[in-house]
Amino acid sequence: MAQTRQRQAVAGPGARDEAVGRGTHAYDSPAERLLPRRNASPPEPPEGWPEALGEAAYHGLAGEVVRTLAPHTEADPAALLVQLLVGVGSCIGRSPYYRVEGDRHAPNLYAVLVGETAKARKGTSWGRIRELLALADRDWARECIRSGLSSGEGLIWAVRDPTDKDPGIEDKRLYVAESEFAGVLRVIGRDGNTLSVIIRDAWDGGRLASLTKAADNVATNAHIAIVGHITSDELRRYLDRTESANGFANRFLFVAVRRSHYLPHGGALAEGALQPLAERIAETIEHARGLQRLVMEPAAARLWEQEYPALSEGQPGLLGAITARAEAQVIRLALVYALLDREPRIGWAHLEAGLAVWDYAAASARYVFGDLTGDPIADRILQALRSAPAGLSRTGISSVLGRHASATRIDHALATLSGARRVTSVTLRTDGRPTEVWRAC
C-alpha cells in the first residue's frame, strides 16, 4: 500500500546542521567566537507532523533543484518541490496528457501549503521557485502569474476567448498564487458565488463557462494551476463539509510546511547558480510542449495495479472527502515527473515519485483535519465526549450544544460519529427509565 511504504528523507534537504553551517555568518574575531550560536535548529515538529518526504519524491531534475536551493533557504523542501511541480506543469501547458477512460489529465495541479503565518516560510519558498522559473520562461512569469481569486467569472475573464468586441487572451496558461488562501475560502462560502464550480471545472478540463445570466465569456483550452498559502487553523475553520464533499477540496494537494532551518544572514547561493538549472528546465518545457498522449511503461503499469486498490479505498469523514481523488492526483504528479525527464512514457520512477508526494500530502491532510467529520455538530459532540471519560447522556450532549440543536440534528450527528466508529453508546439501568450514555471510542 502506498500509505505504508517506508521512505527515507533526501540527503540534501535533510542535512540540516551542515546546511545551517554553510548559510550562517562566519565568526572571525575572538569576541565573536564567544557569542552563543543559538537556534541552530528549529524546534521539533508538533505531534502528528508528517514524516519527511520520501527520497523517491526527489527524482530527477526536480530533486536537483531542491538540493541546490535547500541549503540556502529556510523554506521547507516539500514547499520547494511541490511549487516547482505545479509551476513546471503550468509552464508546459495542456498539450501533453494522460488518459484515464474518458478523462484527459493534463499537467495542471492545485496545491495548498499549510503552515504558521510568517514562520513556515511559505512565501520564501514561492520566491525561490518563481525566480528559477522566470529564468526558464520569461513570458510565463511576466504574463501568466496572477492573484486575487474572487469569482468564477473573474477566473474565466483571465483566460477568455476572443469575441467580436474583445481580442481575448492568447496564452491560456494561468498560475494563480494566493498568499492568503483563507480569503478565497471565505469568498467561496458566499451564497451565489461561482468560484468553486469554475475552479473544479478548470482542474478537470480546458473549457470554462458560467451559467450566470450576465456572464457571456467562455474560455477554451484553459490551463490553470493554483497554489495557496494558509494556516492549519484557518483551513479547518473555513473549509466546510459542503466544499469538501462537492469535490473542491480533493482537487488540491494539502502540504504541511515548516521552517527547515535557521539562516540569520540568508543563504549563500552563488550568483548564476540557478542559470544552468533554468536552461535545462527551459529545454524540458519546450520538449514537453511537443508531446501529446503519454502512456505507462509495463513496469509502471504493474506498480500501478498494486497501488491502485489502496488509493481507491475511501475513508470516512472530512479526511476521506479531502483525499478522495488520490488516483488522479498521483497520475498527474507522475505525468509531470515524466515530462521533467523528457520521456514520452510514465516510468516506474515517475510513478514512485508521484506516490511519494501523494503520501506526504495525505499525511499532511491527516495532520490538519485528523478525525473531523466536517459536520460542526458532530465535531463538537466528539470533542465534548473526549473530555468526558464517563460519557454523556443525550441531555448532557444537548447542554454542551447550548440547547440550540434539535433532537433530530443530534440524532444525525451521533449516527455520523457511530458510523465512523468514533463513538459508542451503552444503556444504563436506573431506578427510573434506562439512560443512554455516549462515549468516545
pLDDT in tens, 399-426: 988 888 898 989 888 888 888 788 899 8
| Bridge partners for 355 per DSSP | none
The DSSP result for 175-216, as a single string, is: EEEES-HHHHHHHHTSTT--HHHHHHHHHH-S-EE---TT--
What value does the mean pLDDT take over residues 166-176?
96
Q: Can you give the residue ranges of every domain in the chain?
A: 2-369, 376-440
Query: Between 3.30.9.10, 3.30.200.20, 2.40.10.220, 3.40.50.300, what CATH number should domain 2-369 receive?
Result: 3.40.50.300
Task: From 258, 19, 16, select the one nearest 119 (Cα to Cα).
Answer: 258
Instruction: State the sign of the Cα–Cα–Cα–Cα dihedral 115, 121, 127, 130.
Output: negative
pLDDT at 29: 47
Task: From 325, 332, 365, select the one nearest 351 (Cα to Cα).
Answer: 332
What is the C-alpha end-to-end distance of the chain, expressed in Å?
A: 26
Considering the entire predicted model, what is its pTM?
Answer: 0.83
- Residue 359 pLDDT class (50, 70, 90 cuts): very high
Q: Report yes or no: 152 and 193 within 8 Å, Cβ to Cβ.
A: yes
Which percentage of the chain shows pLDDT scores above 70? 88
CATH level 2 (architecture), domain 376-440: Orthogonal Bundle (1.10)
pLDDT at 215: 63
pLDDT at 121: 85
